[in-house]
């Protein structure tokens, strides 16, 4: 039989990777809950009528489609089969697809449960999503998103809360050097007006979004290629290079700005003022006039977080939108603002910076070892006492040489081993071995429990 393999772009997460992922997810979940966000889970499969048309043509191509059960060809038009038209046949033989992001299912949930939901609705959702992208380094076909959104309010308090949540997550993860870049679609609109972008706003935003990757020269070249004049480009980079504190930047832009930017400047100022009123500050927060976040559906404030000195790009991003349920044709305006943390990127950053808790802290704490049948039996009582004290403990279940048991403890990064033989059973003085140090001393069970509690 052939050796089994994983579908490309997918991964297993073994004990260490999973413990570390749980560590990150627990931090994020803890912060979301402390800020009043309630959990939601939606099914992995959605009807394709819900998913199609929500992510653009490219997105439709990247949806994983699930074959209808049973004799799916029964009602297929023969011409679809003979014509070898994969796309047309898909709509006949597949009604369901895998979740592509967490926002569309959230919007679908809100529409279907509108009358039970208390607005403003703060929900968080941490689930895998699937995209039939070409797999490459750091890009997978299955990955987790960790989203929090508030809908049903225009209040800028929510923007402040998102900044506070980002700060809490990074504080709990032990990351000190990071930047929360913020901007506003109206500020971008104002800049577009100031450089006479006319109807080419989209081109402009897409280009300046690449500043990090291709630099000023690259962006100039790209826009010049679209027919932008030297004068326009000089003016653009004069604005984008406004220096100073966040307030300085906003004041400067306000002086030169058009009416278009007014609301955006006002919103950003208010968010900074609210942070101050909360007793926090704009530390880690940088108004970045070049932050555009593509041609997304954002209509107000936008956010993006980068960890200083880390190889990966943004580890979190989000923004304000005017109507969550618009794509479903809902007439009720449900404005909101959301943030998404990328679990894989946070994992890579913590790994790169060496900020994960020690592997021994994530594994079993104590392995009970024994040298014969009687000490195995005796060890069961020790095991029981450890677990009753809340200690993660296990016993080596087979009668094998002590060396094999200790090798197992090392391989599983277990912190301590308790070694029991005839002498230890008689004296009650058990062997207590620190696996990392390789040192062993005699201790009573009570003393061991005391030690582990401390």
Q: Which of 182/192 has CB closer to its own copies?
A: 182
Report CA-CA distances (Å) from 246 to 129, 273, 283, 309: 36, 11, 10, 22
Cβ pair 415, 438 in contact under 8 A: no
Q: Based on CB atoms, which residue is closest to its own copies, 309 or 390?
A: 390
Beta bridge partners of residue 94, listed in sequence order: 67
Closer CB to its own copies, 257 or 336, in the complex: 336
Query: Checking phi first, is residue 365 left (phi over 0); if not, alpha (psi -120 to 50) or beta?
Result: alpha
Smallest distance from its own copies to CB 274, Å: 7
* CA atoms lying within 13 Å on the CB side of residue 198: 4
Distance CA 112, CA 46 (A): 13
Q: What is the DSSP letter of 4?
A: P
142, 247 Cβ separation under 8 angstroms: no
- Min. distance of Cβ 370 from its own copies in angstroms? 11
CB of 140 to its own copies, least distance (A): 9
Nearer Cβ to its own copies (6/283) = 6
Q: How near is the Cβ of 255 to its own copies at its closest, in Å? A: 27
Which helix (H) or strand (E) segment holds residue 66: the answer is: strand 65-67
- Smallest distance, its own copies to C-beta of residue 197, A: 33
What is the smallest separation between the CB atom of 100 and its own copies, expressed in angstroms?
Answer: 13
Nearest residue (CB) to its own copies, 91 versus 241: 91
Q: 120 vs 257, which CB is nearer to its own copies?
A: 120
The H or E element containing residue 387 is helix 373-388
Cβ-Cβ contacts under 8 Å for 396 (sequence gap 6 or more): 367, 368, 369, 370, 405, 408
CA gap 211, 214 in Å, rounded: 6
The minimum distance between CB 205 and its own copies, in angstroms, equals 28
Please choose, from the candidates 397, 447, 438, the residue with its C-alpha nearest in 3D space to the C-alpha of residue 416: 438
Nearer to its own copies, 71 or 259 (CB): 71
CA 260 to chain CA mean position, Å: 33
307 versus 337: smaller Cβ distance to its own copies = 337
């Amino acid at each position: 039989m052939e050796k089994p393999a994983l579908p490309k772009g997918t991964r297993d997460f073994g004990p260490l990777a999973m413990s570390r992922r749980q560590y990150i997810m627990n931090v994020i979940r803890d912060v979301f809950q402390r800020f009043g966000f309630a959990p939601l889970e939606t099914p992995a499969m959605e009807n394709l009528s819900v998913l199609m048309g929500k992510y653009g043509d490219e997105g439709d191509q990247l949806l994983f489609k699930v074959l209808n059960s049973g004799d799916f060809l029964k009602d297929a038009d023969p011409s679809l089969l003979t014509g070898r038209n994969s796309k047309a046949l898909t709509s006949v033989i597949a009604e369901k697809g895998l979740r592509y992001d967490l926002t569309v299912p959230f919007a679908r949930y809100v529409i279907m449960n509108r009358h039970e939901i208390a607005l403003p609705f703060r929900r968080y959702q941490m689930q895998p999503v699937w995209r039939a992208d070409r797999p490459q380094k750091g890009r997978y076909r299955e990955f987790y998103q960790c989203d929090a959104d508030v809908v049903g309010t225009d209040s800028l308090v929510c923007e402040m809360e998102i900044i506070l949540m980002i700060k809490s997550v990074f504080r709990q993860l032990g990351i000190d050097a990071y930047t929360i870049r913020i901007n506003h679609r109206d500020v971008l609109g104002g800049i577009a007006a100031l450089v006479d972008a006319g109807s080419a706003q989209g081109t402009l935003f897409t280009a300046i979004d690449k500043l990090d990757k291709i630099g000023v020269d690259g962006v100039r070249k790209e826009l010049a290629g679209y027919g932008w004049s030297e004068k326009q480009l000089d003016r653009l980079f004069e604005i984008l290079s406004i220096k100073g504190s966040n307030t300085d930047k906003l004041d400067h832009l306000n002086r030169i700005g058009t009416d278009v930017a007014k609301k955006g400047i006002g919103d950003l100022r208010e968010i900074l003022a609210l942070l101050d009123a909360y007793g926090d500050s704009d530390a880690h927060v940088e108004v970045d006039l070049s932050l555009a976040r593509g041609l997304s559906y954002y209509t107000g404030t936008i956010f993006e977080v980068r960890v200083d000195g880390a190889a990966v790009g943004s580890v979190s991003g989000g923004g304000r939108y005017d109507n969550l349920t618009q794509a479903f044709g809902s007439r009720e305006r449900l404005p909101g603002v959301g943030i998404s943390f990328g679990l894989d990127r946070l994992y890579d950053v913590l790994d790169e910076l060496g900020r994960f808790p020690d592997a021994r802290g994530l594994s079993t704490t104590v392995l009970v070892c024994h040298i014969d049948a009687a000490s195995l039996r005796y060890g069961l009582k020790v095991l029981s006492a450890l677990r009753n004290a809340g200690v993660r403990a296990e016993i080596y279940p087979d009668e094998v040489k002590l060396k094999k048991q200790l090798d197992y403890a090392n391989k599983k990064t277990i912190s301590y081993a308790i070694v029991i033989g005839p002498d230890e059973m008689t004296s009650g003085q058990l062997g207590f071995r620190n696996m990392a140090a390789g040192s062993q001393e005699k201790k009573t069970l009570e003393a061991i429990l005391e030690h582990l509690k401390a």
